[in-house]
Structure 1
């Protein structure tokens, strides 16, 4: 069976305790939603809950870019997509989107994740089985169009 392209998380619900004084999802909890999607796909990649205990290795996010597109509110149902953009022996680059189940985009996130040997800690090559999993997912995701928001920078344009 082909791997989903992009991967889509299970449906998640915006919790009341995540709402800020403006009445919408607090900015920190967008990251929680992105992270919960990562937890779901990590099993497929081989980074399940027991990965650290077995290997002494883990992953660290080195850089994360988040763009807010539309407000989310309490009890909104969402899914999060994961698109593996690129990888090498020690890191992977991914792009994700939070989608309201009503069909609209709420936020995008772009991540550079490092594979880390925690005995250092230091960035280290991934084992062959993890690289094989990334290759399988990467092959499926390579057919996806390049996301328009990928690689966006922040700044105030000068006239």
Structure 2
């Protein structure tokens, strides 16, 4: 159904550019090596940070950046050479110094879920090399995105931990 002027667009997570699996990323098992899932998640976050105004120009001009404090990756389905992938990013929560994100790596044409990554990123004052609050204009931009993303359904897998299955 075409969108009318009276209908607001449906909120959706940030969508990265479509990425291709590089041949050197394939391991001896014939699928994407686990390390390169993180490379692709990181590339998608870099694209998302541009939307938030905290990319390379921000670092150069305002001496701020982000560091990953925690990351939890789930590998759910194999990805192979020539599979196009796209990453969806949710900004789950944010405060003046932290960004809680969740990412899904999906097959770009078939849509199935291959992996997810849940992350906590810290805002850094790069001159002091310490955690510091975002500038107020950036906090406002982040708050707007977080509000939009809060209207989305929360993806499955948030808050998971690594543990052996319990025995009954």
Which category of TM-score, normalised to the shorter sequence, fits these structures? over 0.9
Query: For the structure 1 residues 51 and 107, does the alpha-carbon distance in structure 2 shift closer, same or farther, using more than 3 Å as the test?
Result: same
Please say if 1:153 is aligned against 2:140: no
Contact 1:70 1:105 in 2 (8 A): yes
Stretches (4+) displaced over 2 A: 1-4
What's the RMSD between the two structures over aligned residues?
A: 1.5
Query: What is the CA–CA distance in structure 2 between the aligned matches of 1:116 and 1:2, rounded to whole Å?
Result: 34
Contact 2:64 2:125 in 1 (8 A): yes
2:143 to 135, 138, 151: 135
Aligned residues: 159
Structure 1 residue 129: Cα displacement: 1.4
1:29 to 27, 36, 55: 36
1:9 to 3, 9, 16: 16
Structure 1 residue 45: Cα displacement: 0.4
Contiguous gaps of at least 5 residues in structure 1: none
Offset from partner CA, 1:73-109 (integer Å, 9 cap, x none): 0111010000000000000100000000212100000
Task: Give TM-score, length-normalised by structure 1.
Answer: 0.95
Query: What is the CA–CA distance in structure 1 between the aligned matches of 2:113 and 2:49, rounded to whole Å?
Result: 23
Structure 1 residue 20: Cα displacement: 0.5
SS at match of 1:150: coil
Structure 1 residue 3: Cα displacement: 8.7
Offset from partner CA, 1:102-152 (integer Å, 9 cap, x none): 121000000000001122211100001111111111111011112220000
SS at match of 2:146: helix
2:69 is aligned to 62
Contiguous gaps of at least 5 residues in structure 2: 1-7
Bigger radius of gyration among the two? 2
1:109 is aligned to 117
Contact 1:11 1:79 in 2 (8 A): yes
